[in-house]
Amino acid sequence: MKTLLDRMREARSLLFAPGHRPDRFEKAAASRADGIVLDLEDSVGPGEKPCARKNIERWLSSGGIGAVRINGVGTQWFEEDLAMVAEFPLAVLVPKADPEATREVFGRLAPGSCVLPIVETARGILEARSVCAQPGVVRAIFGNVDLAKELGIDLADLSALSAARSQLVLASAAAGVTAPLDGVTVVLDDDEKLRSDSVHASLLGYRGKICLHPRQIDIVHAAFAPAEAELQWARNVVDAAGNGSITKLDGQMIGKPIVDRARELLARSAISYGQA
C-alpha cells in the first residue's frame, strides 16, 4: 500500500474543497483527482473559519481522507488550525511559505505527516531552495494568484510568470524533492485555457496542478501524462541502451542522462495509467 508521502509525490492533481462546505468533501473524495485539499484559508471567510475547522476535524476523525491547507503563520487562525491538523498524520499545505514557516509547521505535526509549501510571494521564490530543503517537504506548490498580485503581473500572462515558475522547478530539483505542482487556472469554463496553462507548466518541469473544480481533472491529467510519441521514444532509448553503455539511436548519442530521462517518462506513464 502506498504511503501518504508516496501519494503526494505522485499526485498529478489536487482538488480543493472549501472547509465550510462539508457537502463537497465526499464528492471531492469520489472524484478522479489524485488527492483532495480541505481548505481553511482563502476560500473560507473569516466568520466561517471556526465552523470549517470543525467540519474538517469531524471528517478526518471519521476516517475521511484529504490534505489540509491551514491559515498562514501570524494570522489569528494559525494556532487553532495547527492544533487541529496536528491530531492526524496529514499532508499540510503551508500558505505564504518561507523557510521559517515551513519548518515551524512540520515541527509541530504528528509523526508520518508531511508539508507542501505554497510558494506565492517574492521572498518565497527567492528563497525557494531553502523552502524546499526544509524537513518534511515532499514537494512545493506554485502560488500563481498571490504572486501575480504582489508583483503587479497579469495572472493570465503565462510568459510574465515563467521565470518564477522555472525558479521553483530548479529549487525543487536542487533540494532533491519531487517536481512541483502548478497553481490554479481560475477560469472554470474555458477548457483550452486550462489545457494551455497545464501544457505550459508541464514543459517547464511541473508534474501536476491544483484544481478548483472536478471538471478540470481529466484535462490536467492528460496534459501531464507523457504523449505516446514520447513514450515510444523512451522505449526505443531503453531498448537501445541495453547494458547501459553509450550508443547511438537515430543519429543521437544515447548516454546515461538520456536513458534516465527515458526511464522517468515510462515510470510517469505507469503512474498515469494506474500501473504502479
Q: Helices (DSSP H) in the chain: which residue ranges?
A: 4-10, 25-29, 49-61, 78-85, 99-107, 122-126, 128-132, 144-151, 162-175, 191-204, 217-224, 228-241, 256-272
Residues 6+ apart with CB under 8 A from 125: 119, 147, 164, 167, 168
- Residue 254 DSSP symbol: E
Range of the domain at 261: 228-272
Residue holding cell 509549501? 117
C-alpha cell at 106: 512540520
Shared domain for 220 and 233, answered yes or no, is no
pTM recorded for the entire structure: 0.88
For residue 12, the cross-strand partners are none
Print pLDDT tens along the chain (276 aa): 789 999 999 999 999 999 999 999 999 999 999 999 999 999 999 999 999 999 999 999 999 999 999 999 999 999 999 999 999 999 999 999 999 999 999 999 999 999 999 999 999 999 999 999 999 999 999 999 999 999 999 999 999 999 999 999 999 999 999 999 999 999 999 999 999 999 999 999 999 999 999 999 999 999 998 776 676 767 777 777 766 666 666 767 677 787 887 787 777 667 554 443
Same domain? 233 vs 192: no
Q: What is the CATH number for 62?
A: 3.20.20.60
For 233, the 3-state DSSP assignment is helix
CB atoms within 10 A of CB 178: 20
Domain check: are 206 and 77 in the same one? yes
Count the domains in the chain.
2
